[in-house]
Amino acid sequence: MRTLLNNCRIVNPYGEMPFMENGSILIEDGIIKELGMLDPTIQVDETVDLSGKTVLPGMINAHAHLYSALAVGMPFPKGNPTNFTEVLEQVWWILDLALDKDSTRASYESGLIDHLRHGVTTVIDHHSSQSFVNGSLQLLVETAEKLGLNISGAFEMTDRNGDKIFQDSLEENLTFHRSFIQSDTVRPLIGLHASFTLSDESLQAISDALKNESHWGIHIHTAEDKADQLDAVNRGYKSTLDRLNHFGLLNKKSLVIHGIHFVEEDLKIIKDTEAMLVHNPSSNSNNRVGMTPNKTIQLCSSGLGTDGMQGNMLAEAKEGTLIRSGHLAGGETNVNYAELLFNNNPEIASNLFGRKIGKLDPGYAADLAIFDYTLRTDFNENNWIGHTLFGMETPSDVMTNGIFRIRNNEFIQIDEKDILSNAEKQSQQLWQKMEKIL
């Protein structure tokens, strides 16, 4: 299948051709073949006139929690959490224990719809439905395939709900890994919640289980709060990363999330193991756990995630910029959140999936976010950051693997209304179950 997209503004941050005012994109079998000033009479199966719309690469959420999609508007905790651990205990650990198969499906569907609606075509998810473990990651894949997204999944292993759920979670990760390690559109990872919710015995069990597996990587929260680092120190380690590294759990396929309270030794471990860091500014601000240092983000070439806060990566990059700016003096350098989104996230996704994802360059997956963006100021190769973060909102068209999933603001072969109606129904039942657990 050869498709030619004509008459479009191409914005390809950090790509081979970063900007073109009026260009074309040739797609062949789901892969970008050529782009630029192409011959409009080239032989193709389909020609689409984009009428001057602006094309960005389909975006990547490097750390999502789709299981929190039904949390929007949920009742406040009965207590008044005063620290991060109490927030987990009174909110998120109640939610993930209340999830069943139906509410998990509704979370996946509505969460992925939200991502796709905002031009996010690859989601790296960190899942936790502690009462629905077996088959939960298979359900994630089925949902992502139905909607057409690239998906990475992992199930959070933790000791907090007893040995049986831990063992079931370990088996779910291993089954998922073995089933999809060869897939082009699915990337399995091994999920751990955080160091402070896992004993040395559990970390050893995970390490032992992975000795006979290949091409694995873990997905884990690290040093999100000082409590995580303090727990590792109290167990006799220098830090959470030192503890994970002691058990041989870090490698170049591993995602470590947050890193707010890394120590100097942690930065060396990241460099030595080639593990990948993902920064989540809106979640960090919401949870009041601190701010990841500029040095950590820069030295680790950090990616950008939302930690379950939203599916809109342009908003996440904008909010990250503003949150950090509020703590800087005049003249101080901010983190370039556009680079995290449009350069570092594609590097992370391409490394994980083993194929080129996240740029509008030849050989990359034809994942596109297309905006019907009406200009009120000049748009050129020098000011694209301002337009993408402070001008663009929701794409009118979204394509994954060369296929339109949204066309002129309408989902193709996806009943958005039905998905959202079911999500509303499931959210009410979920919140009632949470009240009983509390």
CA 7 to CA 178: how far, in whole Å? 44
DSSP 3-state of 151: strand
Q: What is the pLDDT of residue 46?
A: 95
pLDDT tens-digit map of 179-222: 999 999 999 999 999 999 999 999 999 999 999 999 999 999 99
Q: What is the DSSP string of 6-31?
A: EEEEEE-TTSSS-EEEEEEEEEETTE
Give the pLDDT band of residue 75 (cuts 50, 70, 90): confident
Average pLDDT of the residues in 321-337: 90
Give the HSE-up count for residue 402: Cα atoms under 13 Å, Cβ half-sphere: 20
Q: What is the pLDDT of residue 88?
A: 94
Domain ranges of the chain: 2-58+356-411, 67-353
pLDDT tens-digit map of 332-354: 889 999 999 999 999 999 999 99
Q: What is the pLDDT of residue 80?
A: 86
CATH superfamily of 2-58+356-411: Urease, subunit C, domain 1 (2.30.40.10)
Q: What is the pLDDT of residue 39?
A: 87
pLDDT tens-digit map of 89-101: 999 999 999 999 9
Closest CA relative to residue 300, chosen from 347, 350, 332: 347
**CATH class of the 67-353 domain in this structure:** alpha beta
Is pLDDT at 438 greater than 80 in this prediction? no
pLDDT tens-digit map of 242-296: 999 999 999 999 999 999 999 999 999 999 999 999 999 999 999 999 999 999 9
Q: How many CB atoms lie within 10 A of CB 368?
A: 26
- Count each helix (H run) and each strand (E run) in the chain, helices first: 16, 18
